[in-house]
Structure 1
Amino acid sequence: MRRRWLLWGSLLSVVVLLLGAGGWVVYQNEYDLKEERVTITGGKQPLHGVLARPTGGRTPAGLVVFVHGDGPTNATHDTFYRPIWEAIAKAGYASLSWDKPGVDGAPGNWLDQSIQDRADETVAAIDWAKRQPGIDPARIGLWGASQAGWVMPKAARQSPDVRFVIAVAPALNWLQQGRYNLLAELRKKRATPAETEAAIARSDRTLAALRAGRTFEQYRDGGGDVDGLTPQRWDFNRRNHTSDATDDLAALRVPVLLLLGGRDINVDSDDTEAGYRRILTAPGQLRVKRYPDATHNIVPESVEDSELQSTLLAIAAPRSLFSPGYLDEHRSFLTSLGQR
């Protein structure tokens, strides 16, 4: 009888622990936000979006318009954005984001877009958002990561409504970024000199074909390496590979927060910081924050390199995915804007 009670007691303890863990996960995935699905009109095609508002405090709220990086990203970036939205909400700002065209049933195809198309899309979203109730049209800015570094300066140059920019791991020049990424990945996997030389040669052949305006079929039939490459992706690269943010950045007259990772193998953080400092020279215009152990996503390298650790954090403690201080920096920067 005593053994039976011990068994039942052990089982009960396990159940209590599981229920407690489940409650913790639910708690960690609840955010102090009011999210609503919206349809953003006024551009080339309707955009399926999410408007995440602060739950209390100052009204009307300012607005941060999110501009995605590369790839088929949905409005929440598979929930990755929500901790950032919450930090932004604490500073009295709403967040607006949308599914890229063709993602999750949205009309269009993001691979058909140019960087200019993406900038036009962003300006249309701003024009739509500033007419929404509860949004302060005098406090609208942009947040964007990676490829958005070419989109946001164009959009800000087109729209006088853009009052600030938050740039996460952007690059200045598409081709330089691509070469840096190639070499960094080769170093990380400890490629041999012969493997490195072969990879550079393949990259050079690809760039020559892009510069010559060759179609996917011409490149493939000429012996080009098309492993993992689709005709649509080839056309996207051909359309955008000459992108450079220098001239558009030089036209910026608004505060900029630049967030960089010290372990970024996608973008050369040193080159980006040097370029931004060279271009954005107005007193107090540029604020730079670096996270020495962070990757391209401003996640600690040890976390990103561990599938188990990153998965557990994403489920049980999503705010802890990011490098320490990253979320607070958003709130601090946005709060400082009101003191200018």
Structure 2
Amino acid sequence: MMRRIFRMLGAVALVFVFVVGATLIISGVGDFDVPSAPKRDISFKNGDTDLHGTFVAGSESGPIVLIVHGDGAQDRWSDGYALPLVNALVEAGLSVFSWDKPGTGTSTGNWLHQTMQDRAAEVSAALAAIRNLPGAQDRSVGLLGFSQAGWVLRRVPSMTDGADFMILIGAAINWQDQERYFTSVRLSLEGKPAESIAAELDRQAVDNQHWFGGGGSYQDFVRAERAAGRRAADIPSKDRFHFIRQNRAEDARADIDLLTLPLLVLMGAEDLNVDPQETVSVYRDLIGGDHPRNAIQLIPQATHSLLDAQHYNYQLPDQWSLMAQIRFALAGRKAYQDGVIQTIAEWINTATSKTP
């Protein structure tokens, strides 16, 4: 009798575990669908470039968030990677607008031909397009930028008054310092000793200054890289070469202390791409107390994108293990470090509140 009861209880427990597990999996997978909320396609121009994106209405009167991508050929949803965050923000009552970078999705142009000033002009044009939507003139509109966007968004307030708040995630301070940090971490993860890393950083500094500081042609650069034994796949394309040459003098300090918008800076403490301690320190020193709603936070156990560092800490997307990809596909928004998305949504609602 008791044995039968135990078998029944075991069966019930298995069914329960299956149902709960299936619910969690379906929930996570659903995060990679474009939100079911009302949406509309929006097109705008920046110079000769035609840009196209999607506006998702999380509410009719609440704040609107513009997503500003980091480096790379990213379409409006970053090949789906951005959708868990977008879905969570929309469910929190926030409206979201994101567009294809030049040369991706249905946008014309080439993002590798842009300077950070060009990107800032593009963001300003996107703000104008959103402000032209019916009813948007009286709504709070802000910018949420990732990584490279730190060098972009610092310029926007001097170009337009269309933004009411700003959020930066994984933003670097100095382009060349970020290069050194990234390389140092990469070599350390490969098991290289400290003296070898220091020597390689010094060698790269000299080479980078020569090639990207203005000396030599791309053809000479390729010949030198091949002579040094670099694989063809590791040699930057001509467009990438000139993209670096145009932008490697970037330093966010130039405009940080001029920002007057409410600002949220979030940095993952386990960031492998950008030195999180430097960014937090610079923003706190230059602007931390300038606005009562400013918040500059270091998130423990979080990656460059604020994902859970225990499972998703890689420098580049193509380094993700198959297990990490599967886990992320099943987790959706739960892949973010605990409380991160709630922090973003709550800060936006607080920063845009009329209550002091």
Q: 1:35 to 1:216 in 2, by over 3 A?
A: farther
Question: Residues 135-214 of structure 1: matches in 2 within 5 Å?
Answer: 135-193=136-194, 195-196=196-197, 197-214=199-216
* Structure 2 stretches lacking a partner, 5+ long: 1-13, 314-319
Q: Is 1:49 equivalent to 2:63 in the alignment? A: no
1:320 aligns with 2:330: no
Matched residue, 2:217: 215
Deviates more, 1:210-219 or 1:166-175: 210-219
Counterpart in the other structure of 1:284: 292
Taking the aligned partners of 1:148 and 1:236, their CA distance within structure 2 comes to 15
215-224 or 20-29, which moves further after superposition?
Answer: 20-29
* CA distance in structure 2 between the partners assigned to 1:78 and 1:102 by the alignment: 14
Taking the aligned partners of 2:257 and 2:168, their CA distance within structure 1 comes to 15
* Aligned counterpart for 1:253 among listed residues 237, 260, 273: 260
What's the CA shift string for 1:93-125, capped at 9, x where partnerless? 211111111113421111111111100000000
Indicate the residue corresponding to 1:30 in structure 2.
30
Moved more, 268-277 or 308-317: 308-317
**Equivalent of residue 244 in structure 1, options 251, 256, 262:** 251
Q: Displacement of 1:37 after TM fit?
A: 5.2
Post-superposition offset of 1:136: 4.7
How far is 1:39 from its partner? 3.5
Inter-partner Cα distance in structure 2 for 1:234 and 1:284: 42
CA distance in 2, matches of 1:22, 1:187: 39
Which deviates further from its counterpart, 30-39 or 240-249? 30-39
Aligned to 2:5: none
C-alpha distance after superposition, 1:46-77 (max 9, x if no partner): 212121211x5xx2232111110001111111
The TM-score with structure 2 as length reference comes to 0.82
Matched, 1:273 2:280: yes
Partners of 2:42 and 2:55 within 8 A in 1? no
Change (3 A) 1:137 1:201: farther
Tell which deviates more after alignment, 198-207 or 112-121: 198-207
In 2 relative to 1, CA 18–217 (structure 1 residues): closer, same or farther, beyond 3 Å?
farther
Q: How many Å separate the matches in 2 of 1:223 and 1:148?
A: 29
CA contact (8 A) 1:263 1:301 kept: yes
Instruction: Find the residue that maps to 2:46 and give its secondary structure.
Output: coil
* Alpha-carbon distance change, 33 to 331 in structure 1, aligned in 2, over 3 angstroms: farther
The yes-or-no answer on 1:311 pairing with 2:325 is yes
Counterparts of 1:154 and 1:132, CA distance in 2: 24
| Kept in 2: contact 1:91–1:335 (CA 8 A) | no
Give the Cα–Cα distance (whole angstroms) in 2 for the partners of residues 107 and 145 of structure 1. 22
Query: In 2 relative to 1, CA 251–285 (structure 1 residues): closer, same or farther, beyond 3 Å?
Result: farther
2:240 corresponds in structure 1 to 233
Provide the rounded CA distance (Å) in 2 between the counterparts of 1:263 and 1:308.
Answer: 21
Secondary structure of 1:96's counterpart equals strand
In structure 2, the CA distance between the partners of 1:109 and 1:35, relative to structure 1 (3 Å rule), is farther
Deviates further, 122-131 or 306-315: 306-315
Identity of aligned residues (%): 25
Range with greater deviation from structure 2 (110-119 or 311-320): 311-320
Report how many aligned residue pairs link the two structures. Answer: 324
The 8 Å contact of residues 50 and 109 in structure 2, kept in 1 or not, is answered as no
| More divergent stretch after superposition (156-165 vs 276-285) | 276-285
Contact 2:70–2:148 (8 Å) recurs in 1: yes
Partner of 2:310: 302
Equivalent position amino acid for 1:34 in 2: A
Show the counterpart of 1:7: none
Supply the AA of the counterpart residue of 1:28. G
Task: Supply the distance in 2 between the matched residues of 1:288 and 1:130 (Cα, whole angstroms).
Answer: 28
The one-letter code sitting in structure 2 at the alignment partner of 1:157 is S
Q: Is the 8 A contact 1:141 1:164 kept in 2?
A: yes
> Which range moves more in the overlay, 84-93 or 279-288?
84-93
Determine the C-alpha separation between the residues in 2 that align with 1:288 and 1:104: 33
TM-fit CA distance, 1:87: 3.4
Gaps of 5+ in 1: 1-13
Q: How has the CA–CA distance of structure 1 residues 23 and 302 changed in structure 2, closer, same or farther, with 3 Å as cutoff?
A: closer
Deviations 1:173-221 (A, max 9, x none): 1111111111122222221356422354134312232113433123234
Q: Is the 8 A contact 2:222 2:235 kept in 1?
A: no
One-letter code aligned to 1:189: E
Q: In 1, are the aligned partners of 2:214 and 2:245 still within 8 Å (CA)?
A: no
Aligned mates of 1:180, 1:193 — CA distance in 2? 13
